[in-house]
Amino acid sequence: MTRREGRIRAPSAPYVATARYLALFAFACFFLMPVYALLVTALKSPAEVSVVRMWQWPHELSLDNFGIVWPKLREGFANSVMMALPASVISSLLGAANGFVLSKWRFPGADFAFSLILFGMFIPYQAVLIPMFQVMSYTHLRGGLLGLILVHVIYGLPITTLIFRSYFTGISEELIEAAKVDGAGMLRTFIHVALPIAPPAFAVSMIWQFTSAWNDFLFGVLLTNKDRWPITVALNNIAGSQAVPFNEAMASALLACLPTLAVYVLLGRFFMRGLMAGALKG
């Protein structure tokens, strides 16, 4: 750290800072322990893996595990991508439309409608599991990815609506009015004025939706047939057998979490801006 002349600080500041960073470092180490175990185990050769030596660094780094598990995961991985991407895009678009109408093109009872939509967030998965299963069976949507996408779109609507409503609420009312006076109706105001300024909200909503759709296990195993199982089910099948091959399980887990990581990295800078969007102008 560079020392600057004329810096305003308490005499005890250096000690306090040191203590603070030490504490933070300790916490970080604690929270990173599972990640360490995951990484290390995934990189060990099968012979080296044992519960006793789980904290030891591998003798030699091997990527063999990934090669072993990838064939078992590939189908689930593809299914998950085909399910999570449309689920998050559609849900975000619908959430944007909802949020716009609930904040900037309001109708009588908008607040009541919003409360109702938000209520959907507090319905636990388990409560709707059986009726959902039956509805999907009646409508012949069970088995394929389409039904699963539909379920994730609908289940994501409350949160995406909330995200976009909060975002649009922070947008100047005059902007929407300018569009009205300029001759744009609701749909064209939404498309030409509201959507182009919404990328930060889209980033937040996409990250959230993609992560929750990707990580879902319950709906996936319930509503799809074996050939359409998402990666979470495939993951469970690797780790859930009698003798757990830890190295394979860890390698699979690592592979399975890569896409969410990628989405976060790609959209992350918008994510931060999205969170700050209400606080700062411009």
Partner 1 sequence: MMVTQPAPLPAAGIRLDKLGKRFRGGVDAVADLDLAVAPGEFIVLVGPSGCGKSTVLRMIAGLEEVTSGRVFLGDVDVTNELPQRRDVAMVFQSYALYPRMTVHKNMAFGLRMRGTPRVERDRRVLAVARTLGLEPLLGRRPAALSGGQRQRVAMGRAIVREPRVFLMDEPLSNLDAKLRVTVRAQLTLLHQRLGVTTVYVTHDQVEAMTLGQRVAVLRDGRLQQFDTPRALFRDPVNLFVAAFIGSPAMNFVTAAVAGGRVRFAGHSVPLAPDGPLVAADRPVLLGVRPTAFGPPGIAGWPQLTVTPAAPRSPPARSTTRCSCPKSAPGSPSGCRPTWRSRSASR
Residues that bind partner 1 (CB under 8 A): 172, 174-175, 177-185, 188, 192-193, 196-197, 282
Alpha helices in the chain (DSSP H): 13-43, 64-103, 110-119, 125-138, 145-169, 173-181, 186-189, 199-215, 218-223, 231-239, 246-276
Q: How far is the CB of 196 from partner 1 (least distance, A)?
A: 4
* Closer to partner 1 by Cβ: residue 157 or 193: 193
CA angle at residue 210 from 97 to 244, to 5 degrees?
A: 160
- 146 token code pair: 């389409």
Give the list of residues 6+ apart from residue 24 with CB closer than 8 angstroms, or none.
Answer: none
* Closer to partner 1 by Cβ: residue 59 or 192: 192
Give Cα 256 to chain centroid, integer Å. Answer: 13
* Closer to partner 1 by Cβ: residue 219 or 270: 270
* Closer to partner 1 by Cβ: residue 179 or 231: 179
How much is the CA Rg of the chain, to the nearest whole Å? 24
CA angle at residue 81 from 80 to 87, to 5 degrees?
A: 85
Q: How far is the CB of 282 from partner 1 (least distance, A)?
A: 7
Secondary structure letter of residue 123 according to DSSP: S
* Closer to partner 1 by Cβ: residue 46 or 185: 185
